[in-house]
Amino acid sequence: MVAGSIAWGLLVVQPDRLMGETVRILFVHVPSAWLGMGGWTGIAISSAALLIWKHPLAGLSARAIAVPGMVFTAVCLATGSIWGRPTWGTWWEWDGRLTSMLVLLFLYGGYIALAQATAREGGSPKIPAILGIIGAIIVPIINRSVVWWNSLHQPPSLTAGKSSIDPEYLWPLLISTLGFSLLFGAIVLMRMRALIAEQQVEARLRRRALDDDISQDNVTGVTPSSMETA
Amino acid sequence: MREALDHWPFVVGAYAVAGAALGFLIAWSYQTMRKAEKRREEMKRK
């Protein structure tokens, strides 16, 4: 689906009247932006599930989403920068949309570092979950940034039920967004499987260490009752 | 007269960056999953 929509966008669609051939970057830039923001929304939902319902998989799913979310955000910024050079005449502009997207990238970096440190040091998974929920404030800011602040970036082209995009570009865009979303889901599932397997290995190692301690205590004659009297 | 900027190098560059990043992400995630699951199976057998 991704390959087909990209081939469609690169080889079939006509150049745009204003943007020329660079309009083809649309089919990779927009899905990346959507998944960068969608990724953090997923982290926020998983974090809420962890804090409210204490679901055992919620913390893992948030951790599994973070890295692909960060990569898609970085791809969005990189492809946007490349697109900006021929259309705006600059690689970067500190306007609302670009800056808020950069903040999202840093938030992902902070979340990944915090989640890894918490897991390594045996801390509570609630700590990164709180960051996941507080950080979600950036998603509506990114979404509304082109409306709130005077920006080089174009205003929203796709809103609920409405589109100002020509159907020639809209259909390959929707298909590429769906394809990239499925790819994102597959990556998250792979990372979740890895995290679950790692946790099972750690649990087994802990259990073995505990069994070894108990058997050693039995050999040396140390029992819970003898420890109490000591 | 100013010559028009060729857009294709920018298009190719954008797709190359995206392809490399996503290709690396997929390969890394798959590799991490296989390694972790292999380690779990080895632990089960011991």
CB contacts, 8 Å: A68 with chain B: 25, 29
| B18 with A83: Cβ contact below 8 A | no
Count of positions (residues) in chain B = 46
Residue A104's pLDDT is 97
Q: Report the distance separating Cα A60 and Cα A64, nearest Å.
A: 6
Chain A residues with beta carbon closer than 8 angstroms to that of B29: 67-68, 187, 190-191, 194
Could you tell me if A49 and A55 are in contact, meaning their C-beta atoms sit under 8 angstroms apart?
yes
Those residues with Cβ within 8 angstroms of residue B36's Cβ, 6 or more apart along the chain or in another chain: A193, A194, A195, A197, A198, A201
Our CA-based measurement puts residue B45 at a distance from the nearest CA of chain A, in whole angstroms, of: 12
A145 touches chain B (CB under 8 A): no
Which residue ranges of chain A lie beneath pLDDT 50? Answer: 227, 229-230
| A75·B18 Cβ contact <8 A | yes
Query: If residue A179 lies in a helix (H) or strand (E), which one and from where to where?
Result: helix A167-220
Spell A179-209 as b/e; 16+ CB within 10 A means b: bbbebbeebbebbbbbbbbbebbeeeeeeee
- Please give the single-letter amino acid code of residue A29: H
**Least Cα separation, residue A87 to chain B (angstroms):** 9
Does residue A16 sit in helix, strand or coil?
strand
Which residues of B fall within a CB distance of 8 Å from A75?
17-18, 21-22
SS3 of residue A19 by DSSP: coil
What are A114-170's pLDDT values in tens digits? 999 998 888 888 999 999 999 999 999 998 888 888 777 877 776 666 777 788 888
Q: Does any CB of chain B come closer than 8 Å to the CB of residue A182?
A: no
The pLDDT score that the predictor gives to residue A106 is 97
Burial class (CB in 10 A: 0-12, 13-18, 19+), A170: middle
Place of tokens 């058997």: A215
Give me the percent of chain B exceeding a pLDDT of 70.
Answer: 91
What is the nearest CA distance from A136 to chain B, expressed in angstroms? 24
pLDDT, position A161: 67
ipTM of predicted complex: 0.89
Which amino acid is located at A88 in the chain? Answer: W
C-beta atoms of B43 and A204 within 8 A: yes
Q: Do A21 and B8 touch (CB under 8 A)?
A: yes
pTM metric for this prediction: 0.87
The model's confidence at residue B12, banded by pLDDT at 50, 70 and 90, is: very high
